[in-house]
Chains A and B, each alone.
Chain A
Amino acid sequence: MSVFNKILSVIIAVIIGCGGVLGIFYAMNYLANTLPHKWRSRILPWIYLAPALLVLTAYLILPTLNTIYISFLDRRSQNFVGLENYQFAFTSEAMLVAFRNNLLWLVLVTGFSVGFGLILAVLMDKVRYEPLAKSLIFLPMAISFVGASVIWRFVYAFRPAGAAQIGLLNGIVTSLGFEPVGWLVERSINNFALIAIMIWLQTGFCLVLLSAAVKGIPKDIIEAARMDGASEVKIFWRITIPMIRSTLAVVTTTVVIMVLKVFDIVFVMTAGNQGTEVIASRMIKEMFNYRDYGRGSAIAVILLLVIIPIMVVNIRRFRQQEASR
């Protein structure tokens, strides 16, 4: 197939995909207009909502309920096995390693990316080249986890001692006179090497949100504190942090959710070998490599259970917003 034909088929696919939806809406609206007036105003909202509710039900609600059900069945979902899959999930060696690593990821990624983001947001507020610096830190947000993984595989590239090092980190290490390090193989450091990638990716996100919050603090409060002789450090702890507390909470929960679901980085960098597995990558492994849908589902349910408190907080915050609207 020539390149022209390929591009043409892309365009046709795109037109069919996009045009189909609008067609559906116009057809449904046309149908609604044939109804008597009294009925129309009652049915019209549901016509506008129907496609959305349909995909939400088909792709999120029903599958979620189904996964909970499958988690109590065996690997082929034929027999009921009770809590056996959960017992596996909480006792098997591999899963305990995944839990330990995930905890490490949660603490370090959340701590460092929120911490860096906050410090950078406050510092950048003081300099004129803020937009440029912010763009540079934020840039990794646009890159895929896979792309970022290749970038960092190259940073961590390892050659035996004596050979020319092409990875930046080993280049630095050997030029300082040390032996090159197998960053992704060495069990004491490989998890930290992966966690560093996630921090690199997420700091920009934290920075952008926290920076917006820092700029929202009324200037006269800070000026007044300065007049009273408060040091910058004191202003940071006593004014900045309390004033941006709610944003800080949103940023932290978002990072926590992203870390819990991280899969691509581990999958591309180490495939979960050498003790680097996390919960989400383990779930894919159970599902694809071992074809054990029961265990895979149980692991997914555990992920959901961890996230449910965040869900509750989100709903509560939403209701408060609505009440004050």
Chain B
Amino acid sequence: MKSKRRRKSNSVKHLSHQLRNAFNSLPVHLSLIVISLIWTLPTVGLLISSLRPKNDLLESGWWMVFQHPFDFTQYQLGNYIDVLTAEGMGQAFLNSFTIAIPATVIPIAIATFAAYAFSWMRFPGRQVLFILVVALLVVPLQMTLIPVLRSYNHFGLSGSFLGVWLAHTGYGMPLGIYLLRNYIGSLPKDLIEAAAVDGASHLTTFTRLIVPLSLPAIASFAVFQFLWVWNDLLVALVYLGGTPDVAPLTMRLTTLVGSRGEAWHLLTAGAFVTMIVPLIVFFALQRYFVRGILAGSVKG
């Protein structure tokens, strides 16, 4: 708005002022552009390299493609085909979905019910229990690994999808309850009381009123939990053990780094395969992701 106002005035004084302003903000623009570039280059390098043939990749740096960037013969998809078929990334891709979808839906269902109870139902110990949830938000996963793994071995749950679903449900639960309770608790009181006066049961109020109204918060938690599970290595590593037919992408990629550490044509393509779904989710649902991060920034 300011610059528009200035543009209208023709006086030389204003023009020089404008020039000085532009000159003053030059360092700002320059530093922002340089930093954005530095932040992006590593990922761009990976993407470009994953498209280059094996021999090119090992003979010259990826930045060499910029000598003639539009020579499309220097790009190909062979690395992706190799890594998806021969290196088992295709199976791992399916496993990641099999793990991440229930490990997102189950906690949402459980946490929404609990958040409703914490917000709109009366029962003894409500405050104390919720403070417990807040405390559990920051408990490090490491505290739970050994006992849970032992009972998993005892009950035969290690190496199974069910075990990982339940573990992620437990670990995501404090954040889910905390985030959803903050939202559901701030819904207008009149609305919920009116529903009760009209004779709606708790279940009707919950399914017809609370869930539809809370969709933005549920979406935030869903995006957050999905990305968290998809990107997780620790939980999968501990509870799935070394079983390759249930391993998710992060585990498969870690194995690949260990066994084929210098096979950059496979590593670059493999890394990008693990990133493609988070990147799509990120760009499509960035708004919800950011909101989830803002609301749940106390998660440990």
Contacts and interface: CB of A to CB of B under 8 A. Distances in A.
Contacts of A322: 127
A52 B143 contact: no
Given A46-B123, A60-B171, A208-B293, A261 B106 contact: no
Given A126-B28, A145-B233, A300 B143 contact: yes
A319 B127 CA distance: 10
A263 B234 contact: yes
Contact of A13 (B35, B102, B274): B102
> Which of A51, A152, A283, A322 has most B Cβ within 10 Å?
A51
A33 B278 CA distance: 42
Given A17-B165, A136-B36, A139-B43, A56 B170 contact: yes
A35 interface: no
Contacts of B116: 48
A139 B274 contact: no
B134 A315 contact: yes
Contacts of B271: 146-147, 150-151
Contact of A21 (B90, B110, B127, B230): B110
A166 B253 contact: no
B254 A267 contact: yes
Nearest to B38: A200
B142 A293 contact: no
Interface stretch (B10-18, B68-76, B145-153): B145-153
B105 A21 contact: yes
Contacts of A45: 117, 121-123
B174 A60 contact: yes
A153 B143 contact: no
B139 A64 contact: yes
Contact of B147 (A70, A155, A263, A301): A70
A12 B290 CA distance: 32
Count class of interface residues, chain B: 35 or more
Nearest to A150: B271
Interface residues of A, number: 108
Given A143-B278, A155-B42, A165-B61, A52 B32 contact: no
Given A62-B147, A287-B146, A139 B113 contact: no
Interface stretch (A78-86, A90-98, A187-195, A306-314): A306-314
B293 A209 contact: yes
B169 A55 contact: yes
A123 B131 CA distance: 38
Contacts of A297: 146
Interface string B117-155: 110011100010101111111111111111110000000
Contacts of A253: 298
A168 B173 contact: no
B200 interface: no
B253 A18 contact: no
Q: Which secondary structure dominates where chain B touches chain A? A: helix
A56 B174 contact: yes
B275 interface: yes
Contacts of B170: 55-56, 58-60
B31 interface: yes
A7 B36 contact: no
Contacts of B187: none
B257 A150 contact: yes
Interface string A135-176: 111111111111101111111010000001111100100000
B50 to A, nearest CB: 10
Nearest to B231: A144
Contacts of B49: 154, 166
Contacts of A241: none
A318 interface: yes
Given A52-B113, A154-B268, A287-B145, A261 B140 contact: yes
B102 A17 contact: yes
B161 A17 contact: yes
A124 B177 CA distance: 33
B276 to A, nearest CB: 10
Contacts of B111: 52
A152 B42 contact: yes
Interface in A207-255: 208-209, 212, 250-251, 253-254
B166 interface: yes
B117 to A, nearest CB: 4
Interface in B243-288: 250, 253-254, 257, 264, 267-268, 270-271, 274-275, 278-279, 281-283, 286
A304 interface: yes
B163 to A, nearest CB: 11
A119 B59 CA distance: 39
Contact of B42 (A151, A212, A250, A267): A151
10 contacts: A17-B105, A18-B105, A52-B113, A55-B173, A150-B257, A166-B58, A166-B61, A267-B254, A284-B142, A310-B300
10 closest residue pairs by CB, A with B = A59-B170, A17-B102, A144-B231, A52-B114, A63-B144, A142-B282, A150-B271, A66-B147, A48-B117, A63-B147
Interface of A: 3, 6-7, 10, 13-14, 17-18, 20-22, 25, 29, 33, 42, 44-46, 48-49, 51-53, 55-56, 58-64, 66-67, 70, 116, 120, 123-124, 126-127, 132-133, 135-147, 149-155, 157, 164-168, 171, 200, 203, 205, 208-209, 212, 250-251, 253-254, 257-258, 260-261, 263-264, 267-268, 280, 283-284, 287, 293, 296-297, 299-301, 303-304, 307, 310-311, 314-315, 318-319, 322
